[in-house]
Structure 1
């Protein structure tokens, strides 16, 4: 009888974990996707009308990148408190900050109304968004892997990666509907609707997080005074290699979620077509991320990560060739295939990075390494890719080489980290230098 009841209970637990780690992240990354979409399609006219379109797009992506400057700071602050006071309070705070800043972006006046103040306010709100996102990803990922049953951390950690894809689907879907319904008024008014909707949708994720089980979100009985300092002292190599993985992965992820939109419109596709491509990419990630997360539980994290990085690097060259044919059906297939390949690294990353640190410093370690990598890689990816396209007279080969280089870094750093899929969380937590000594002192 026990065996019969355990599977439904496990399924309910998995669904609850997805709602906390996946759904909350989906709503936060929905906000990022709609900003990236607006930066590609609308913001050049609304906030930078005095420039030619491609240069204005480059400046809009630079404003998008400004949010990444605040992500490491958010990772450090929220990571510290996540290790000190527990995961739940931090996850609620990040969600509220993101929702408020997203709603306010939708209320901003354009350049025509307030002049240079408009882009300044836009950048300030992007900084708030980035600060919130800095603490979001690590906390959501850790909720998944720390809730997982034995042998399932890769799969349950991938709920966060699925959430990013779900956020992409919501963002691209809402923008596609708004673009189709208000095509003539998209620049004037309708672009604001997805931002207002994102601000209110955060309430759904907030409910899930407030109902999260206390056993998982509770702080340690005796938290470390300075978790990041402990990670720097005890895990410097892991911090550096995890930062390298995050740099390479976020570079390709943000090329995929923002630059690919610009490229499709430059080739000659309409904005609605480009949004459909983005939607196909996100659906493919949602399907492939849990599969490769599960595969990493079976075959090991390093094997799946290295395979995914190499396959995606080769796929980039094929992608640009296919999209360059200017056929909607062929381009749709190219975006879908790219999304499937992106999931090969995106699925295992939460578990792989989180397993490099014991629980006492895990939130700080994963947040610092991931967000510094995201700021350096993801924050500059769209701007660099757009600049390469301008400098090479719209030849995408340079962008493909740039992306392949970032993915090579993912493969090399993954292979240099130890394999953690076979270790239990208890084994990982007990490996912190000084752990035994601290326990002994406590008992004494």
Structure 2
């Protein structure tokens, strides 16, 4: 295993133990995705009721999703800011800053006043906190991926790169599991609406609880040392004064390819985790009809699907090492394209079809998401890797995640309650990703320390 080092008085080499690398790359993204899922769940269950005027439920839901998408616009800005720090000052301090920003923003959401209390000031504050979340996540993912891949033994970068990716399913299970416990303790007589106690104060608990997880994450990350790749860049005098300018001047093609590599992944990710919760809970006879499941039942079904997300995230690492990142992703992207065209037939099969849809969708999500932890960092040299991989990852968030839930609700409405056009939208985005993969090249054998 390559040995990351920091300056020591006697020139000693201080290595990051394998367990520390895995934990540091995993725990931060778990916390970050927990925070994002907590918001995503509240965007469906709580915010349409509490942060907007009473009236049109579809309009309130769209407004809630619009604020959800606003964070994606802030993510490239976070990637630029934290990427600059990460490529100039090192990975460790930058990751600590990103985690603190995310944790504080999430905690403060749990303390916000609501629309009946302060009027439009409430959604305005929600937008500010949501932008802070997005800004922080813009710097989190690429740093965590670099901690994993730059410390990986030879021939295991894709395997190590799956550990920060595993934070997504773990964060989902933690966030939704906590919401389920709170909803069970505060049951509602109306399955389409949370109880008064839940809407009054119960929803705040998951947001406030995030501060405990942040403390744990900070303790782990403060014990990290820098990677060999970054230390070699410093010693060779290859640091760039303006990493952002160098990325767009020398690596613009890689940024564009990386952005579209992630497009299908992002769209699938947010359709499966955010839109599905709205569609699954909507009443069959509603103005905008859905599947008619109660909240607890559908979230339990989603959690089963997310278990497969985690399993196939881990499986994708060895596959990407054996067959290469590009070949693995071309295969799964073709499968995602076909999956988008099967939505209506699968939903017509009742609960069996819905459960199969969730398992298949989340399994494909794991296979496409897992290799990205190695692929995007491998596109860029060490002196601009934090900035380059972060911009590609987060630019895709605008094209994919920022608009996916909003477009999905609009297409759902356009189809009169049918998800057909939502599935076609997913297939179209998969086609764009497939084209990018065909234009790109394999990165498995690049020198990560160059």
Q: Is the 8 A contact 2:91 2:226 kept in 1?
A: no
Give, in whole Å, the separation in 2 of the partners of 1:66 and 1:232.
24
* Matches for 1:10-409 after TM superposition, within 5 Å: 13-183=17-187, 184=195, 185-215=197-227, 220-221=233-234, 222=237, 223-266=239-282, 267-327=291-351, 329-409=352-432
Q: Which residue of 2 aligns with 1:4?
A: none
Q: Is the 8 A contact 1:69 1:379 kept in 2?
A: yes
Comparing 92-101 and 279-288, the one that deviates more = 279-288
Per the normalisation by structure 2, the TM-score is 0.89
Q: Is the 8 A contact 1:323 1:334 kept in 2?
A: yes
Distance 1:179 1:412, change over 3 A: same
Determine which of 406, 421, 424 is the counterpart of 2:447. 424
Q: CA deviation at 1:376?
A: 2.4
How many residue pairs align between the two structures?
415
Give, in whole Å, the separation in 2 of the partners of 1:239 and 1:269.
41
Q: Is the 8 A contact 1:317 1:400 kept in 2?
A: yes
Q: CA deviation at 1:101?
A: 0.6
Per the normalisation by structure 1, the TM-score is 0.90
Q: CA deviation at 1:319?
A: 4.4
Give, in whole Å, the separation in 1 of the partners of 2:38 and 2:337.
26
Runs of at least 5 residues in structure 1 that lack an aligned partner in the other structure: 1-11, 430-444
What secondary structure is seen at the aligned counterpart in 1 of 2:403? Answer: helix
Deviations 1:301-331 (A, max 9, x none): 111011111112222333453344442x542
Give, in whole Å, the separation in 1 of the partners of 2:264 and 2:281.
25
Give, in whole Å, the separation in 2 of the partners of 1:367 and 1:140.
10
Q: CA deviation at 1:113?
A: 1.0
Deviations 1:91-118 (A, max 9, x none): 0001001111101101111111111111
Distance 1:206 1:217, change over 3 A: farther
Q: Which residue of 2 aligns with 1:433?
A: none
Q: Is the 8 A contact 1:319 1:338 kept in 2?
A: no
Distance 1:310 1:215, change over 3 A: closer
Q: CA deviation at 1:217?
A: 8.6
The RMSD of aligned alpha carbons is 1.7
Q: CA deviation at 1:226?
A: 1.3
Name the one with the larger helix percent: 1
Q: CA deviation at 1:89?
A: 0.5
Distance 1:110 1:420, change over 3 A: same
Comparing 186-195 and 124-133, the one that deviates more = 186-195
